[in-house]
Amino acid sequence: MSSLRSEPSEDLVQRLLTAQFPNLEGPVVTAVEPGGNDNRTFRVGEELSVRLPSAQAYVAGIEKEHRWLPRLADRLPLQTPVLEGLGIPGEGYPWPWSIHRWMTGSDLTTATEVDGRRAARDLGEFLSELRAVDAHGGPAAGEHSFFRGASLTRYDGETRSALAALSSMLSRETIAAAAQIWDVAVDSEWDAQPVWFHGDLSAGNILADDGRLTAVIDFGTCGVGDPSCDLVIAWTYFEGEQRHVFADAVGLNARTWSRARGWALWKALVRIRENGPTHSEQIRVMTEVLADPVRA
């Protein structure tokens, strides 16, 4: 994929709206902070938002959401983004972009007083319902999903390289335990029919209001394949008994959870390798992954 990137501004969004959606040129455009990595989001007045890919690699997500979200939304127990328009390249911006209905609530990185057990149950049920949606004709996991939903062996070399590089930074016991978990993970494949997965189910892509989950956003990495990648949030956000409430609601077997453990470990190891063993959040995630298989 191309490495070309773009840093959209409030002025650019206003010019795009004026040129392509003149009925929307009046409301104030405000950048949403913090900005996302894949897309930049801007609030337009009180009711709308605009999302623009920050790089060529994320353009497929805009088109996927426009095509598939209407098919998914009515089947899911939490809100999903409602698309109001699809823009085209213009005003010096090189890619398609989208207009969404503004969604209230705070993402789980900032939301307060969230009932963790209830959130675990509700998110698990959401994923169960997502898997139940007819996947016929859906986008098979691949480059557009950064191979989320595909075979974990895609990242085998990168993970083993990270383990080797970290052997002088982490304890021998930690490296051995991580390697064993990885071996089990890559020895397992999804052997049922491909199902829908979200692909980027992080705390920043889940909204809550008044202590309850209300929405799941950013389906740009979604596709059809192995749903184990969506279980990583068990270690990155949930803790203790919440994980097991989540697992009960998700309803997937131990082999799928072993691959989920692999997905979580891969990301943690790569980030620790990039940033060093002082990367406290990824050290925490790795420690949780090593300690708790959730389902065994």
* Average pLDDT estimate for 47-57: 95
Exposed, middle or buried, 10 (CB in 10 Å: 0-12/13-18/19+)?
Answer: middle
Residue pair 97/83 in contact (Cβ under 8 Å)? The answer is: no
Tokens 């692999």, residue located: 262
In the CATH scheme, what is the homologous superfamily, with its name and number, of domain 116-291?
Answer: Aminoglycoside phosphotransferase (APH), C-terminal lobe (3.90.1200.10)
- Quick count: other Cβ atoms within 10 Å of Cβ 69? 18
> What pLDDT, on a 0 to 100 scale, did the predictor assign at position 1?
44
For the whole model, what pTM was predicted? 0.94
Look at residue 35 and tell me whether its pLDDT is greater than 80.
no
Q: Tell me which residue of 251, 230, 83, 265 sits closest to 160, measured CA to CA.
A: 265
Look at residue 94 and tell me whether its pLDDT is greater than 90.
yes
**pLDDT, tens digit, for every residue of 122-171?**
999 999 999 999 999 999 999 999 999 999 999 999 999 999 999 999 99
Rounded to the nearest angstrom, the gap between the alpha carbon of residue 239 and the centroid of all alpha carbons in its chain is: 19
Look at residue 244 and tell me whether its pLDDT is greater than 70.
yes
Overall CATH class of domain 10-102: alpha beta
Domain map of the chain by residue range?
10-102, 116-291
> What pLDDT, on a 0 to 100 scale, did the predictor assign at position 4?
63
> What pLDDT, on a 0 to 100 scale, did the predictor assign at position 74?
94
* Average pLDDT estimate for 198-214: 97
* Average pLDDT estimate for 174-181: 99
- Picking from 24-33, 187-196, 279-288, which range would have the lowest pLDDT averaged per residue? 24-33
Transcribe the chain into DSSP letters. ----B----HHHHHHHHHHH-GGGSSSPEEE-SSPPSSEEEEEETTTEEEEEESBGGGHHHHHHHHHHHHHHHTT-SSB---EEEEE-SBTTB-S-EEEEE---SEETTT--S--HHHHHHHHHHHHHHHHHS--TT--BSSGGGTTTTS-GGGGHHHHHHHHHHHTTTS-HHHHHHHHHHHHHHHT----S--EEE-S---GGGEEEETTEEEEE---TT-EEE-GGGGGTHHHHT--THHHHHHHHHH---HHHHHHHHHHHHHHHHHHHHHH-TT-HHHHHHHHHHHH--S--
> What pLDDT, on a 0 to 100 scale, did the predictor assign at position 25?
77
